[in-house]
Amino acid sequence: MKKKIVLIDMDGVICDYTQRMLDLAVERFNLPQYKAGEVLDFYTEKIFPEEVQTQVEELSLERDFFLSLKPLPESIEAVKEILDDPRFDVWICSSPKKKGEWCHSEKFLWLRKYFGQKFAEKLVLTRDKTLVYGDYLIDDKVSILGVNKNPSWEQIVFNQPYNQAFQGKKRMDWKNWKNVLV
């Protein structure tokens, strides 16, 4: 039996990128405190006034930002279950920041911390996920565009408050993955 290749995004899927951005915005700029569930835009900084959005977005370029991300609830356990499932070959497929020198290495180190060296070596960092081969891509961003207009994978939208209005693709969270990945 041929294993299905499952590509899993990091930020917003297994890592809580949004809450870290919100917490740092309060800490650094004394902005109002929000919870991740209140963010209704993929771009977290857009919850704040326009004049501080660039500064808030640049927080993710700082050293230790990606290393400091907490796992989303149930993500570690669920990914480990998928890794143990003989039907799947699991890879992490994440987009690094366009600028900033820490993102690449910290994503690798984060994976190594939570999953070990062997799985961390299955990290694919790309600005264009359409070029990566797989059967499924689990991602919280609803529109994955790139050079390849017909990627090999079927996207499964990972449920987040900011993507609830989107329809037309399979959806999942870490509680129902067994019903979605087939």
Question: Of these residues, 9, 16, 139, 140, which one is catalytic?
Answer: 9
**146 contacts 131 by C-beta, under 8 angstroms:** yes
**4 contacts 89 by C-beta, under 8 angstroms:** yes
Is 84 part of the annotated catalytic residue set? Answer: no
Is 140 part of the annotated catalytic residue set? Answer: no
- Strands of the sheet containing 4-8, edge to edge, are 123-125, 88-94, 4-8, 136-139, 154-158, 170-172
Cα separation, 22 vs 35, in Å, equals 7
Q: Known catalytic residues?
A: 9, 11
